[in-house]
């Protein structure tokens, strides 16, 4: 909607510009040639081709076609016969086609040459016809053109000019010069207003006042004048008017009365002091009012009197000492000293070497036959009498802006940054610290350095990347390119990452994933195989041990004699020689066969201690040991276990006790060690 409205406004503006305008299209025919004196149909003119022209001006057409001459048309009188030049009567001025609308900037033109016989009006008497289309800007300059036909040629020129008071590219801008109360201006060639001298404003209706006239306090109705507003006066209206009855006052704003010095009151008509009004004191003296019209003057040196009007003679004060003679001068005096004295007032006596005038051990030498002297001062002192201590810094001039200082009686130079040495004469080489990175070349300067950077680097120390790709900037096959801003960047392969492609990519590719899963599967398989082999070995070992235990138990049972079998006693008759000793029985509820274990019984110890001599570590059995339980109690609680004893040799202090499983193989056999 907005675009359509904008288009309509543009079209309306164009139409209004073209509707309102005023100009004229001018066509100037220069020369026409009819080489053979023939008509367009090839027939000859009789007796000659009396020629006139028809001109048709219309809108621009890519292919000019006959039709209405919407821009205008005209017919000339007979201008000549056959070949002729146009000039003078009957066509002394160019052909003019006036416009009452804006010039569009382009046109189509049809020029026809016709034969005008005396006694005929036949339309077949055309000699030639020319049709052109052109772009044309408004201006006074003529555009030349030549049109050639099969047997004719026409030379002419054309232009488009604006009528009076019309300007612009389409002669649609109106500007009428004027010099009245509504404006004072002329028109520029582009139709802009040009103010007459002394006028300004949008329509040149404002006069330019006198240069320097106060804009706040004055105005004007015509150029070059300055009319003051009420309360102001002067050529430029910069002077205020004081109150009409103000006598001895001034103003800064209209109608003020600021009293001058020595005057007071509302209208500055009261005399405040005599000194201000009469200034009686002379020669720069200071006047002080003492009241009632009296005063006193404080005189400057050299003057005296009531009004300080009398000059004092300076020699009257006897300023010369030691009998010196005072001589009056115009504005001063001088003393002529007697021999042996000197100075402005003859206050200094002339010394000789006899008076020992040299200080600090200086040597005195007489001069002028003993009337004067000179001192040879020791090192570190100077002056007429060696009274001045020599500044040590005068012997040590510091170079390169260094400042000499004396510390502890020793003079030294305090150097500016970038210099060193006793006299600051050595320029410090700032390049010794190798500040330039990335192969940059360092150039020493005064108190500074400059780095010449290799391609691809910049900055003060060549530590910043610039446009372009340095050598070896991207690693692992990465490609370098310059990104917007001029800095290089690396485009890495899929397996690498990082600013310079220096790291492996976190997410592996398909080939890498396959390789890693294969490696993991192989490792898991190897571990499983190793565990299986270990389990098989443990099982074989357990089977082997179980077979050995059964074989050992069978041999032991076969070796029992009948006497020994008779020694089996009931539980009631079994006695424990040590009441504190208990028998520990290890029963395993999960055992399928009994297990033979050897336990060492220590009857001398407080508690019963077991020392396993042989144990199968391949299996973890759940123990059901009951500590410190008497054997009789064990038997009563475990009826399925039968306890028997076998006598040992008499010299033995131990007994062999066997616990044999009768119904279920859950008991452990304990034997003597």
Q: What would the pLDDT profile of 585-619 be if each residue is shown by its tens digit?
A: 343 333 333 333 333 334 333 343 333 333 343 33
pLDDT at residue 170 above 90? no
pLDDT at residue 468 in the model: 64
pLDDT at residue 150 above 90? no
As a whole number, mean pLDDT of residues 503-521 equals 60
Residue range 177-236, pLDDT digits in tens: 998 888 899 998 888 889 999 999 888 989 999 999 998 999 998 899 999 999 999 999
**Average pLDDT along the chain:** 75
pLDDT at residue 398 in the model: 86
pLDDT at residue 329 above 50? yes
- Return the minimum-mean-pLDDT range out of 74-88, 307-321, 647-661: 647-661
Q: For the chain, give the percent of residues with pLDDT over 90.
A: 24
- Return the minimum-mean-pLDDT range out of 149-153, 206-210, 456-460: 456-460
pLDDT at residue 31 in the model: 92
pLDDT at residue 670 above 60? no
**Both tokens assigned to 468:** 């372009």
Helix (H/G/I), strand (E/B), else coil: 223: coil
Q: Which position has the higher pLDDT, 648 or 276?
A: 276
Q: Can you say whether the dihedral through the CA atoms of 229, 234, 239, 243 is positive or negative?
A: negative
Confidence of residue 123 (pLDDT cuts 50, 70, 90): low
Residue range 368-409, pLDDT digits in tens: 777 678 899 998 788 888 888 877 676 667 888 788 887 766
pLDDT at residue 37 in the model: 87
pLDDT at residue 479 in the model: 79
Helix (H/G/I), strand (E/B), else coil: 14: helix
pLDDT at residue 569 in the model: 40
pLDDT at residue 621 in the model: 35
Contacts for 354 with CB less than 8 Å, ≥ 6 apart: none
CATH code of the domain occupying 275-311: 2.10.25.10
pLDDT at residue 120 in the model: 58
- Return the minimum-mean-pLDDT range out of 130-139, 141-150, 563-572: 563-572
Domain residue limits, the chain: 12-172, 275-311, 353-389
Do residues 494 and 506 make contact, with C-beta atoms less than 8 angstroms apart? no
Residue range 409-430, pLDDT digits in tens: 677 888 888 888 888 888 888 8
As a whole number, mean pLDDT of residues 125-138 equals 91
Q: What is the DSSP letter of 549?
A: H
Q: Which position has the higher pLDDT, 90 or 282?
A: 282
pLDDT at residue 281 above 80? yes
Q: Which position has the higher pLDDT, 36 or 472?
A: 36
Going by their DSSP bridges, the two strands 239-240 and 206-207 should be labelled as unpaired
Helix (H/G/I), strand (E/B), else coil: 131: strand
pLDDT at residue 264 above 70? yes
From the candidate CATH numbers 1.10.287.3510, 2.40.160.20, 3.90.1150.10, 2.60.40.3510, the one assigned to the domain spanning 12-172: 2.60.40.3510
pLDDT at residue 392 in the model: 67
Q: What is the DSSP letter of 313?
A: P
pLDDT at residue 377 in the model: 92
What's the per-residue H, E or C state across 151-182? CEEEEEEEEEEECCCEECCCCCEECCCEEECC
Q: Which position has the higher pLDDT, 672 or 154?
A: 154
pLDDT at residue 297 in the model: 92
pLDDT at residue 24 above 70? yes
pLDDT at residue 172 in the model: 85
pLDDT at residue 254 in the model: 92
As a whole number, mean pLDDT of residues 3-24 equals 51
Please classify residue 597 by burial: count the beta carbons closer than 10 Å to its beta carbon, then call 0-12 exposed, 13-18 middle and 19+ buried: middle
pLDDT at residue 645 in the model: 38
What gap in Å lies between CA 284 and CA 298, rounded to an integer? 9
What are the CA-CA distances from residue 126 to residues 37, 114, 133, 462 (Å)?
A: 12, 4, 21, 87
Same topology, domains 12-172 and 353-389? Answer is no
Please classify residue 98 by burial: count the beta carbons closer than 10 Å to its beta carbon, then call 0-12 exposed, 13-18 middle and 19+ buried: exposed
Residue range 617-667, pLDDT digits in tens: 333 333 333 343 343 333 334 434 443 333 334 343 333 334 333 333 333
Q: For the chain, give the percent of residues with pLDDT over 70.
A: 72
What's the chain's Rg over C-alpha atoms?
Answer: 69
From the candidate CATH numbers 1.10.579.10, 2.10.25.10, 2.170.140.10, 1.10.3720.10, the one assigned to the domain spanning 353-389: 2.10.25.10
Dihedral angle, C-alpha 349, 352, 358, 364, nearest 10 °: 160
As a whole number, mean pLDDT of residues 131-158 equals 92
What are the CA-CA distances from residue 330 to residues 313, 334, 345, 591 (Å)?
A: 10, 11, 18, 150
pLDDT at residue 343 in the model: 83
């Amino acid at each position: 909607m907005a675009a359509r409205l904008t288009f309509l406004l543009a079209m309306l503006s164009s139409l209004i510009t073209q509707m309102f305008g005023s100009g004229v299209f001018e066509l100037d025919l220069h020369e026409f040639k009819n080489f053979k004196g023939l008509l367009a149909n090839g027939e000859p003119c009789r007796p000659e081709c009396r020629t006139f022209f028809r001109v048709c001006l219309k809108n621009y057409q890519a292919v000019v076609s006959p039709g209405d001459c919407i821009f205008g048309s005209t017919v000339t009188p007979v201008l000549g016969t056959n070949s002729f030049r146009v000039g003078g009567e009957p066509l002394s001025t160019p052909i003019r086609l006036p416009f009452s609308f804006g010039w569009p900037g382009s046109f189509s033109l049809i020029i026809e040459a016709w034969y005008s016989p005396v006694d005929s009006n036949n339309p077949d008497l055309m000699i030639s016809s020319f049709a052109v289309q052109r772009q044309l800007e408004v201006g006074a300059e003529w555009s030349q053109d030549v049109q050639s036909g099969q047997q004719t040629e026409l030379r002419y020129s054309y232009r488009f000019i604006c009528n009076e008071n019309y300007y612009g590219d389409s002669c649609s801008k109106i500007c009428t010069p004027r010099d009245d109360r509504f404006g004072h201006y002329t028109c520029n060639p582009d139709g802009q207003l040009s103010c007459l001298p002394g006028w300004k404003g949008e329509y040149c209706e404002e006069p330019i006042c006198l240069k320097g006239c106060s804009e706040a306090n004055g105005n004007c109705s015509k150029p070059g004048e300055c009319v003051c507003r009420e309360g102001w006066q002067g050529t430029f209206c910069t002077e205020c008017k004081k109150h009409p009855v103000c006598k001895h006052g001034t103003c800064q704003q209209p109608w003020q009365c600021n009293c001058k010095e020595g005057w007071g009151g509302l209208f500055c008509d009261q005399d405040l002091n005599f000194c201000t009004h009469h200034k009686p004191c002379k020669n720069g003296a200071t006047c002080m009012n003492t009241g009632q019209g009296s005063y006193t003057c404080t005189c400057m040196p050299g003057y005296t009197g009531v009004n300080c009007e009398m000059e004092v003679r300076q020699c009257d004060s006897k300023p010369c000492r030691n009998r010196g003679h005072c001589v009056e001068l115009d504005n001063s005096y001088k003393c002529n000293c007697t021999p042996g004295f000197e100075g402005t007032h003859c206050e200094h006596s002339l010394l000789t070497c006899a008076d020992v005038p040299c200080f600090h051990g200086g040597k005195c030498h007489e001069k002028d036959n003993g009337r004067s002297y000179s001192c040879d001062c020791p090192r570190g002192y100077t002056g007429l009498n060696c009274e001045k201590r020599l500044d040590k810094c005068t012997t040590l001039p510091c170079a390169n802006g260094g400042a000499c200082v004396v510390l502890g009686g020793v003079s030294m130079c305090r150097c500016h940054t970038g210099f060193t040495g006793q006299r600051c004469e050595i320029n410090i080489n700032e390049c010794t610290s190798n500040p330039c990175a990335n192969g940059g070349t360092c150039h020493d300067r005064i108190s500074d350095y400059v780095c010449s950077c290799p391609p691809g680097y910049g900055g003060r120390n060549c530590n910043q990347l610039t446009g372009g790709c340095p050598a070896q900037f991207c690693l692992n096959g990465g490609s370098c390119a310059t990104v917007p801003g001029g800095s290089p960047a690396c485009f890495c392969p899929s397996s690498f990452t990082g600013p310079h492609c220096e790291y492996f990519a976190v997410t592996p590719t398909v080939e890498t994933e396959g390789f890693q899963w294969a490696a993991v599967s192989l490792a898991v398989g190897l571990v499983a195989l190793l565990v299986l082999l270990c389990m098989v070995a443990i099982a074989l070992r357990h089977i082997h041990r179980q077979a050995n235990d059964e074989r050992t138990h069978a041999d032991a049972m076969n070796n029992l004699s009948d006497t020994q079998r008779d020694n089996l006693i009931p539980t009631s008759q079994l006695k424990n020689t040590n009441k504190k000793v208990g028998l520990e029985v290890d029963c395993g509820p999960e055992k399928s066969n009994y297990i033979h274990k050897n336990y060492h019984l220590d009857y001398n110890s407080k508690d019963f201690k077991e020392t396993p001599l042989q144990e199968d570590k391949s299996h973890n059995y759940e123990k059901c040991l009951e500590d410190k339980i008497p054997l009789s109690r064990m038997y009563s609680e475990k009826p399925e276990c039968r306890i028997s004893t076998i006598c040992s040799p008499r010299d033995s202090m131990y007994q062999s006790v066997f616990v044999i499983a009768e119904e279920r193989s859950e008991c452990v056999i304990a034997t003597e060690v």
